[in-house]
Structure 1
Amino acid sequence: MKIVDATFLQSAQSIADSPDPNVAEVAFLGRSNVGKSSLLNTLTNRKGLAKSSSTPGKTQLINYFNIKFKTSNEEMPYLFARFVDLPGFGYAKVSKGLKKDWNRNLTNYLEQRPCLQIFVHLIDSRHPSLDIDKNVDEFLSSIKRGDQIIIHAFTKTDKLKQNDLAKLKREYPNGIFISNLKKKGMDSLQNAITEHLFGNQVF
């Protein structure tokens, strides 16, 4: 199974102006500058799909993308999902009022979106133990429904020495280790997503 099409659907400020929750969604979240946009572009093989900003914290909208998967099942040749690019967290240079609204809208989406199936928590492999990421993990674990999973994807692994990467893999045996530069880990991430979304329909 592979992604054969990915298109931008719409941006939203909150779940109130989000698209109908009629397709399974995969939310990508992480600290600002963790490489989220680059990962989405590499994963979908669409260079300009997700827009990265030179100013961390600038993206404040929830961005929705329609994703089309090609299977080898003749009876069900295509399957569909929606990737959701969430604003980066942990960047201080926004107004307090904006940050309050921003955080509330993100929390409402994560807690209340009925079609949300997967949280992909992106973590900078060079800084895997920051308090902010631990807090996000605790929050996701506290709200996660039985039909949802959390995937930990460690980005920028090409910047690690081999012994540091080996240590990280020992510490996080269930993690997925990503290098956008070398396009490593993308198959593992896609397989983890499709296995949970589609289960036995994946051929």
Structure 2
Amino acid sequence: MKIVDAQFLQSAQSVADSPSPDRAEVAFLGRSNVGKSSLLNTLTNRKGLAKSSSTPGKTQLINYFEIKFKTENEELPYLYARFVDLPGFGYAKVAKTLKAAWNKNLTGYLEQRPNLQIFVHLIDARHPDLAIDKNVDEFLGNIKRGDQIIIHAFTKIDKLKQNDLQKLKRAYPDGIFISNLKKRGMIDLQNRITGYLFGNEIL
């Protein structure tokens, strides 16, 4: 199974102005500058689909993308889902009032979106134990419904020594290990997502 098309659908400030919850959604979240936009572009094979910014924390909207998958099942040749690019957290240079509204809208989406099935928490492989990521994990664990899963995807593994990478893999045996630069881990991440959304039997 592979992604054959990915299109920008719309941006939203909150759940209230989000698209109709009629497709399964996969939310990608992580600290600012963790490589989220680059990962989405590499995963969908669409350069420039998700816009990255040189200013951490600049993206303030919830961005929705329609994703089309090609299966090997002749009776069901295509399946659809949405990828959702969420604002980065951990930004510093944002006005307090904006930051409060931003946090409220982001947590509102995570807590209230009925069709949200998967949280993909992106973590910089060089800094896997930051307090902010542990706080996000704790938050996701508290709000997660029984029909949702959390995937930990460690980015920038090409910047690690092999020793450190092996240590990280031992510490997080269920993690996905990503290099946008070398396109490593993309198939693993896609298979984890599609296996959960659609079931391996029809892929």
Would you say same fold, with TM above 0.5? Answer: yes
Q: Which residue of 2 aligns with 1:119?
A: 119
Q: Secondary structure at the match of 1:32?
A: coil
Q: Give yes or no for contact 1:65–1:82 (8 Å, CA) kept in 2.
A: yes
Q: Which residue of 1 aligns with 2:62?
A: 62
TM-fit CA distance, 1:156: 0.1
Q: Which residue of 2 aligns with 1:170?
A: 170
TM-fit CA distance, 1:92: 1.1
Give per-residue Cα distances to partners, 1:90-134, cap 9 Å, x unaligned.
111100000000000000000000000000000000000000000
Q: Give yes or no for contact 2:194–2:200 (8 Å, CA) kept in 1.
A: no
Structure 2: segments with no counterpart, 5+ residues: none
Pairing 1:124-135 to 2, within 5 Å after superposition? 124-135=124-135
Amino acid of the structure 2 residue aligned with 1:147: D
Counterpart Cα distance in 1 of 2:202 and 2:54: 38
Amino acid of the structure 2 residue aligned with 1:197: L
Q: Which residue of 1 aligns with 2:90?
A: 90
Pair 1:99-2:134 in alignment? no
Counterpart Cα distance in 1 of 2:27 and 2:189: 13
Q: Which residue of 2 aligns with 1:46?
A: 46
TM-fit CA distance, 1:201: 4.9
Q: Give yes or no for contact 2:27–2:116 (8 Å, CA) kept in 1.
A: yes
- Among the aligned pairs, what percent are the same residue? 83
Amino acid of the structure 1 residue aligned with 2:27: A
Q: Give yes or no for contact 2:28–2:85 (8 Å, CA) kept in 1.
A: yes
Q: Which residue of 2 aligns with 1:150?
A: 150
Counterpart Cα distance in 2 of 1:103 and 1:171: 30
TM-fit CA distance, 1:29: 0.0
Counterpart Cα distance in 2 of 1:64 and 1:130: 28
Q: How many residues align?
A: 203
Counterpart Cα distance in 1 of 2:44 and 2:200: 22
Give per-residue Cα distances to partners, 1:25-76, cap 9 Å, x unaligned.
0000000000000000000000010000010000000000000000000000
Q: TM-score, normalised by structure 2?
A: 0.99
Q: TM-score, normalised by structure 1?
A: 0.99
Amino acid of the structure 2 residue aligned with 1:160: L
TM-fit CA distance, 1:200: 4.2
Greater than 6 Å deviation, 4+ residue runs: none
TM-fit CA distance, 1:202: 3.2
Counterpart Cα distance in 2 of 1:63 and 1:12: 6
Counterpart Cα distance in 2 of 1:136 and 1:3: 28
Amino acid of the structure 1 residue aligned with 2:45: N
Give per-residue Cα distances to partners, 1:114-171, cap 9 Å, x unaligned.
0000000000000000000000000000000000000000000000000000000000
In angstroms, what is the RMSD of aligned CA positions? 0.6
Pair 1:32-2:58 in alignment? no
